[in-house]
Amino acid sequence: MSKKGMETLVGLFVVLGLLGLVFLALKAANLSSSNSGDTYTIVARFDNIGGLKVRAPVRTAGVVVGRIKSITLDPKTYQGVVDMGIDVRYKFPKDTAAKILTSGLLGDQYVGLDPGGDDKDLQPGDTLAQTQSAVVLENFIGQFLTNKAAEAVSGAASAPEVRK
């Protein structure tokens, strides 16, 4: 094989490798253009959305049933307003609850839907009445340390004096 032919094959191999890396990066960031079809929008309001991002999955029983379309702040209630695009194949009862959950210990956050038992289904544009905000790890650790410090101080103050 000539030197020019070898250089062409190496160049083609490099280009294919770069295309593969771009594809993997888009898949990992949930930015790929693959769309499952038509969706309808439901809304949830959370006191704290944590690290939830647009395009994060919406899951039920571990199955992705939609994606986060937008996240805004309500200027009157100061709550995070999350618009979710749910695949039209999936219908949820009106009393469905939404929780912000985390994949693993330190993974990405997503919205988990817990279907209720109502006979009527959610309609496009409906707002979920029951929501549970994200658990922020820093707040949890801070509360734990504060409680432990308070226990240590109150335990030292109430401990009986030992005499020799």
Q: Mind listing the pLDDT tens digit for each residue in 73-125?
A: 999 999 999 999 999 999 999 999 999 998 876 678 899 999 988 899 999 99
Six-digit token string for 45: 């309001």
Pairing of strands 97-102, 130-132: parallel
**What is the signed CA dihedral for 75, 39, 136, 94, rounded to 10 degrees?**
80
Decide if pLDDT at 60 tops 90.
yes
Distance CA 6, CA 1 (A): 7
CA-to-CA dists, residue 54 to 47, 82, 85, 92, 160, angstroms: 17, 9, 11, 21, 57
**Judging by DSSP bridges, how do beta strands 109-114 and 80-87 pair with one another?**
unpaired
- Residue corresponding to tokens 């295309």: 19
